[in-house]
Amino acid sequence: MFADTASPLSVLHRWPAFPAPVKDTALAAVFAVLAFVPTVSHLGPEIGDLPGHPAGTAGTAIALALTLAMCLPLALRTRRPGVCLLVVGGAFAVDQVLGYPDTFSKVGLLLSLYAAGAHLSRFRRGLAAVVTAGYALLAVVLHELGSPQRFLDFLAFYLVMAVIWSSGTGVRRWRAEAAERTRLAVALAAAAERARIARELHDVVTHHVTAMVVQADAAQFQLDAAPARVGGGLDAISETGRRALSELRTLLGVLGTPEGTPTTNPTPATNPATSPTPTVGRFGELVEQARLSGQPVEWTEQGVGRRRSVEVELAAYRVVQETLTNAMKYATGRPTTVLVRHADERIEIEVTTAGPTTVAPPFVSGGRGLSGLRERVRLLEGELETATQPDGGFRVLARIPAGADA
C-alpha cells in the first residue's frame, strides 16, 4: 500500500527563511521534476492496485495532466490549503480509478493533507467531511472495479491520512501557543517597562518639585525676615529646576531613541558629576540640594566607591533621592543623616530622620515612592527595610548587591 517513502515532511521546517510562497513554489517545482524520474516512481502511495491503464496518446496526455495536478497545486499549500487538497485529492482519485502506474507525484496527497491540517483556518470540519466522503466513494468504486484491497486495507490507508492531517493540526496548535506566549511576553515586558518609566518619572519629578516647593517657601520666609538672602534661595530653585529638566531630557531621550540607533553621545561620561545618568558619585549633589532647601543633612561615606553597573548605581541614587525627598516632605527641618557604606559585595545606604515627623511616615501608607524603591531593589536581589524610630523619626536601610564592576 505504501512503498518506502523518504518523507519530505521532516525537512519542511528546516528550509531557509524565505517567504512561504517562494518555498511552496520551489516545492511544487521539485515534485514536478521528480515525478518524471523513473528511479523514484515507486515512492508514491498506492491504494487501488487496478490492473492495466489506458494506452495511446490520449492516455499519455491524461496521465501527464494528472501527474501535474498532483504536484503544481502544492504551490498553494500554505495560502490556499483547502483548494490544494481538493485538487490534489481529486487527481489522486482519478489516477487510482484509471489505474495509472506509480509516480512520485502521488506523495503530493500526503503533503496537501499535512498542509490542510497545519494551515487551514476555516471550514476545517467541512473539508474533513468532504475528504472522508470522497475517500469512502473512491473505496467503493475501486472495490467494484476489482481492486485486490480489502476493507482493512482501505481503513488503514484512511487512518494514515488522518494521522498526517492530525500532525499538521498539532503543528498548528503549537504555533498558536507559541504566538500566544510571545504575545504575553511582549505584554509583560511592556507592562514592566511602563512601571519602570513610572518609577523614574516619580523619582525625578517628586524629588525636584518637592525641593523647589520647600526652597520657594524658604525664600518667601527670607523675603519677610532677611530680604538680602532671597537671592540665594532663588538661585537654589533655579538650579533645582535645571537638574529636573536635565534628568527628564535624559529619560525622554531614552524613550525617543529607536532601537538600534546610536545616541548622540554613545560613550558614557567618565565623570560622575557631568554624567546625564544619576550615579553613586552624585550623592553629594542630592545632599547639597537638600541643605539648600533648609534640611539639615549629615552625610557620611565609608569605604572606597567604585564604578558599578548602571542598574546598581541608579538604584542607589534613587534610594538616597527618595529618602531625602520624604525627609523634606514629612520631617521638614529635622536632622537627617545619610550613611553610605561601600563593600565588595554590596552597597548599604541608611537614611535616618530624628524627631517626630509632621505627618504620618510615608512607609506606613505604602506610598508609590517607597514601594517603587522596594521593587527596584528587589529586582537587583537586594533588600529595603523601613521602620519608625523610638523618637518618632523614621529609618530606611537598603542593601544592594554590588555585582560586577562596570
Q: Decide: 347 and 309 in contact? Cβ < 8 Å.
A: no
Could you tell me if 97 and 145 are in contact, meaning their C-beta atoms sit under 8 angstroms apart?
yes
**Cα(118)–Cα(167) distance, integer angstroms:** 8
* Lookup: cell for 234: 532663588
403: left (phi > 0), else alpha (psi -120 to 50), else beta?
A: left
Is the Cβ–Cβ distance between 308 and 280 less than 8 Å? yes
Spatial separation of the C-alpha atoms in residues 83 and 12, rounded to whole Å: 20
Find where cell 490492473 sits.
51
Whole-model pTM?
Answer: 0.52
Give percent above pLDDT 70 in the chain: 70
In this structure, are strands 346-353 and 394-401 parallel, antiparallel, or unpaired? Answer: antiparallel
- What is the C-alpha separation between 351 and 365, in angstroms, rounded? 19
DSSP H or E run through 284: helix 283-292
Segments in the chain below pLDDT 50:
2-13, 258-276, 360-367, 404-406
- For 262-311, the pLDDT digits (tens) are 444 443 444 444 444 566 677 888 888 788 777 889 989 888 877 888 88
CA distance 320 to 269: 21
Burial 221-253 (b: 16+ CB within 10 A, else e): ebeeeeeeebeebeebbebbeebbeebeeebee
pLDDT at 396: 92
Taking Cα atoms as reference points, which of 65, 162, 67, 73 lies closest to residue 112? 73
R_g of the chain, CA atoms, integer Å: 38
Q: Cα separation of 193 and 199, whole Å?
A: 10
Please name the residue that has the C-alpha cell 542630592: 286
Using CA atoms, how far residue 236 sits from 11, 243, 365, in Å, is 70, 11, 31
Residue 264 has a pLDDT of 42
Helix (H) or strand (E) holding 212: helix 151-225
CA distance 325 to 98: 89
pLDDT in tens, 107-138: 999 999 999 999 988 888 999 999 999 999 99
Which DSSP category does 147 fall into? Answer: -
Report CA dihedral (30, 34, 35, 38) to the nearest 10 degrees.
170
Count CB atoms within 10 A of the CB of residue 366.
Answer: 11
**CA 273 centroid distance within chain:** 36
Question: Which H/E stretch holds residue 341?
Answer: strand 336-342
H or E element at residue 396:
strand 394-401
DSSP state of 340: E
Secondary element (H or E) of residue 267? none
- Determine the Cα–Cα distance for residues 263 and 282; give it in Å rounded to an integer: 23
**pLDDT for position 137:** 94
